[in-house]
């Protein structure tokens, strides 16, 4: 096809021929013929010299996080039997809710049946999908009159997940949330017998192991293992009416992504629920939740059935919403499950209750969550603890109880 310069040359050539013929000006006739001859030669050049190149695209990493800079590497193979001319690669880059742009890469002449590499950086600023391709090659004649495009590679899609912070996992007895979880664990009853210890002031007499005490010089008290946090149910309210504005909604996405990532890193049994019937369970919930949150848009669709979670042991129900006055909060917090401790995370108001957190900024999300979990607890310590003990996810604490002896 002709470039803009080629179109001008062709029009000028035709005009010169016509005027030269009409007025018998041989010089104009020659000039017009020269212009048209240059156009024909340029078209023949790009037709014969267009490189026969195919390419493979490698994206690092496959899933990006908003704010990261990825890289796209291209492996090119020239199938022609003669050396190629210099050509340019064009890669279309389309982003969700953003203008389309393109990457342009110059490639030096390639030897016959050879390979070469090229690449470019892929910056990201917001979550969503980035559509790459198709990748095409462009060759031009030396005068820039004509050009020809050929396909090199197809299309690819890159998922840009929302930013996610690694949050502390609450431990029983640590911070306001940990103390509430401890109370829930004790209310649910003791676990397996753990050990005997000496009686201390405040222990209930019914916890004394009388037979063991008779063989000892002091009174001995039975201790039972109290299982720690084992599961988490994350509910993200995606109704825009629950938020003050779009920025507040995006902070909610970040909070939900942080919870899913942290729970998955700690090995907790995780369930992720949001509007429109999205209910993620089973293995790899964190990965699937991040992929879902990368594309999620506000919707007024209901949650679906938020029935009691069939999991066992102490759990968390964390509801991410704009305000505790929203319909989404009322629907999620109405779940009746004595094993779950409900924690609201609000993006438009201060923390509500002793175990509430706020995310009016990303920094506040981290600080308010640390405040309710207590400093010194974290994902790494949580994982290390149950790797050492071989227990199911969740710490084990011992507490005296009145249950029967082992």
- Name the CATH superfamily, with its identifier, for domain 53-161: Immunoglobulins (2.60.40.10)
Parallel, antiparallel or unpaired: strands 315-321 and 396-400 = unpaired
Q: What is the mean predicted confidence (pLDDT) over 347-363? A: 93
Q: Which helix (H) or strand (E) holds 60?
A: strand 53-60
How much is the pLDDT for 188?
A: 66
Per domain, the residue ranges of the chain are 53-161, 162-406
Summarize pLDDT for 167-223 with one digit per residue, the tens.
999 998 889 999 998 888 877 655 555 577 788 876 667 778 888 888 888 888 776
- Alpha-carbon span 400 to 305, nearest angstrom: 38
CA angle 23, 28, 29 (to 5 degrees): 85
Closest to 302 (Cα-Cα) out of 341, 332, 346, 257: 332
Tokens of 394: 């969740």
How much is the pLDDT for 193?
A: 57
Collapsing DSSP to helix, strand or coil, 5 comes out as: helix
Contact by Cβ (8 Å): 226, 182: yes
Parallel, antiparallel or unpaired: strands 231-236 and 269-274 = parallel
- Alpha-carbon span 372 to 367, nearest angstrom: 9
- Alpha-carbon span 367 to 373, nearest angstrom: 10
Write the DSSP assignment of 145-213 as a string of letters.
SBEEEEEEE--EEEEEEPP---PPPP-TTSHHHHHHHHHHHHHH---SEEEEEE--TT--GGGB-HHHH
231: pLDDT strictly greater than 80: yes
Q: What is the mean predicted confidence (pLDDT) over 42-70? A: 93
Contact by Cβ (8 Å): 329, 344: yes
Top pLDDT among 362 and 182 is at 362
Phi, psi dihedrals of residue 160, rounded to the nearest 5°:
-105, 105
- Other Cβ atoms closer than 10 A to 145: 25
How much is the pLDDT for 388?
A: 39
Tokens of 31: 């000039």
Top pLDDT among 403 and 218 is at 218
**Residues in a beta bridge with 131:** 94, 157
Summarize pLDDT for 309-327 with one digit per residue, the tens.
666 678 999 999 999 999 9
């Amino acid at each position: 096809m002709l470039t803009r310069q080629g179109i001008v040359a062709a029009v000028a050539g035709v005009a010169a021929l016509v005027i030269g013929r009409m007025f018998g000006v041989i010089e104009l006739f020659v000039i017009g013929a020269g212009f048209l001859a240059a156009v024909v030669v340029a078209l023949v050049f790009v037709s014969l010299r267009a490189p026969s190149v195919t390419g493979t695209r490698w994206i690092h990493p496959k899933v990006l996080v908003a704010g990261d800079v990825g890289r796209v590497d291209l492996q090119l193979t020239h199938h022609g039997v003669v050396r190629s001319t210099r050509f340019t690669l064009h890669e279309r880059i389309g982003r969700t809710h953003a203008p389309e742009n393109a990457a342009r890469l110059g490639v030096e002449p390639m030897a016959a049946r050879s390979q070469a590499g090229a690449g470019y950086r892929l910056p990201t600023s917001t979550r969503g999908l980035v559509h790459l391709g198709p990748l095409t090659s462009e060759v031009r004649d030396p005068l820039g009159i004509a050009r020809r495009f050929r396909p090199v590679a197809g299309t690819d899609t890159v998922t840009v997940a929302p930013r996610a912070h690694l949050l502390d996992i609450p431990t029983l007895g640590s911070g306001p949330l940990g103390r509430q979880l401890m109370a829930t664990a004790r209310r649910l009853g003791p676990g397996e017998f753990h050990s005997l210890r000496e009686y201390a002031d405040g222990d209930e007499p019914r916890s004394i192991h009388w037979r063991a005490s008779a063989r000892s010089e002091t009174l001995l008290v039975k201790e039972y293992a109290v299982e720690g946090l084992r599961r988490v149910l994350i509910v993200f309210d995606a109704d825009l009416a629950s938020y003050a504005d779009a920025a507040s909604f995006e902070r909610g996405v970040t909070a939900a992504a942080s919870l899913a990532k942290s729970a998955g890193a700690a090995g907790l049994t995780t369930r992720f629920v949001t509007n429109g019937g999205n209910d993620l369970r089973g293995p790899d919930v964190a990965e699937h939740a991040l992929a879902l949150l990368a594309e999620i848009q506000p919707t007024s669709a209901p949650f679906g059935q938020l029935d009691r979670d069939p999991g066992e042991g102490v759990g968390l129900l964390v509801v991410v919403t704009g305000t505790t006055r929203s319909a989404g909060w009322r629907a999620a917090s109405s779940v009746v499950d004595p094993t779950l401790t409900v924690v609201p995370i609000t993006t438009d108001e201060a923390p509500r209750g002793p175990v509430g957190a706020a995310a009016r900024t990303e920094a506040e999300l981290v600080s308010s969550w640390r405040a309710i979990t207590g400093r010194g607890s974290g994902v790494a310590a949580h994982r290390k603890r149950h790797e050492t003990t071989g227990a199911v996810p969740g710490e084990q604490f011992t507490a005296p109880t009145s249950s029967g002896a082992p």
